[in-house]
Amino acid sequence: MQRVLHVVGARPNFMKVAPIVHAMAREPGQFDQLLVHTGQHYDANMSHVFFEELGLPRPDVNLGVGSGSHAQQTAVVMQKFEPILLEYQPDWLVVPGDVNSTLACALVAAKLGTKIAHVEAGLRSFDRTMPEEINRVLTDQISELLFTPSKDADQNLQREGIDEARICFVGNVMIDTLVRLLPKAEERWPNLLREFKLGDYLLVTLHRPSNVDDPTTLSQIMQALQQLGRDIQVVFPVHPRTRSKLAQIGFGATISGIRLLEPFGYLDFLALQAHAALVLTDSGGVQEETTYLGIPCLTARPNTERPVTISLGTNRLVKSHCSAIVKEAKAQLDGDRRLSSVNSAPPALWDGKAADRIVDALRKAD
């Protein structure tokens, strides 16, 4: 029996780990699992509700790390995680994505000689100013198995000198969760429609420091949303960190033309994505989910580590500037240069079975 320790830190990790936990649970004689939540997201709507909706067991350990600078958060995770790893002595540490918890726990494991499996390996924005890019690159370098979601990720790892024997193209495990829970999300839609009196709407998510920490940039984005709000409903579930930044630049709880809402759980937010006229985001996961759903997406970033969403024509990068956002959004909403739908042909291995391939690879690994 293999002992496997899973780490979840921030909200996107939950959707990536849940299918793997479920797949391993179907083989109780093969895998013994421990689930560690670092507490990098500590707001109830950003964390606990996800365990319930995704059918994840309550974490065996919660490190309760909370917020802090990148250095502080990484250091505290490492300090608190080391005794857990020493006590459990897993055969494999499974870390998903690119958050601080991912790198912190991988570093601890590498120092102690524990084998690491990185889920969603090989993605690159080629922008080293992004903390997530540093986390991705370093985690890949010290991982034994690299589970990639797309072929461009394989190519990135090969260019970096990673042994091909360590690279395993499994597909997008986030899509496993989407495929499994989309029917449940659709059941939520009638209530959302009534509660928020939704017609056509633009769905917005913002959380990256490059967009929300710079007062000028955040003001430009909000000005764009106010302009767009004259013609279409703007639905903006606000990340707690983003809400505090809005308050600092003078945007209160009520903004003309914009519905500022509390963060949603996974199912409600998935339903909102599936029915949006357009999505504006800076999230990597949302780029992938809208691509699978066939919903046009504008990404307020200069680059993306998920280029498959661009090449398929479902996603487009846009400058975080008022005029650029308004111009591109109106072009989409008016039907000009309309982004395409890929419902009939999603990317390779975005089929809801990535977790099965991950579990199979771990079962066969030495």
Question: Which residues are known catalytic residues?
Answer: 207
Can you name the residues that pair with 259 across neighbouring β-strands?
A: 235
DSSP letters for 53-113: HHTPPPPSEE-------HHHHHHHHHHHHHHHHHHH--SEEEEESSSHHHHHHHHHHHHHT
Residue positions counted in the chain: 366
Quote the CA–CA distance of 188 and 184 in Å, as a whole number: 7
- With contact defined as beta carbons under 8 Å apart, do 170 and 357 qualify? yes
| DSSP tag of 42 | -
Please list, in sequence order, all residues whose beta carbon lies within 8 angstroms of the beta carbon of residue 71, skipping any fewer than 6 positions away.
Answer: none
Print burial letters for 67-80: b (CB count within 10 Å at least 16), e (below 16).
Answer: eeeeeebbebbbeb
Quote the CA–CA distance of 298 and 315 in Å, as a whole number: 6
Quote the CA–CA distance of 179 and 160 in Å, as a whole number: 32
Q: Kindly tell me the burial class for residue 83, based on how many C-beta atoms sit within 10 Å of its own C-beta (0-12, 13-18, 19 or more).
A: exposed
Q: Which residue has the tokens 């949603």?
A: 264
State the Cα torsion 153-157-158-161 to the nearest 10°.
170
> Which amino acid, 154?
D
Can you name the residues that pair with 281 across neighbouring β-strands?
A: 299
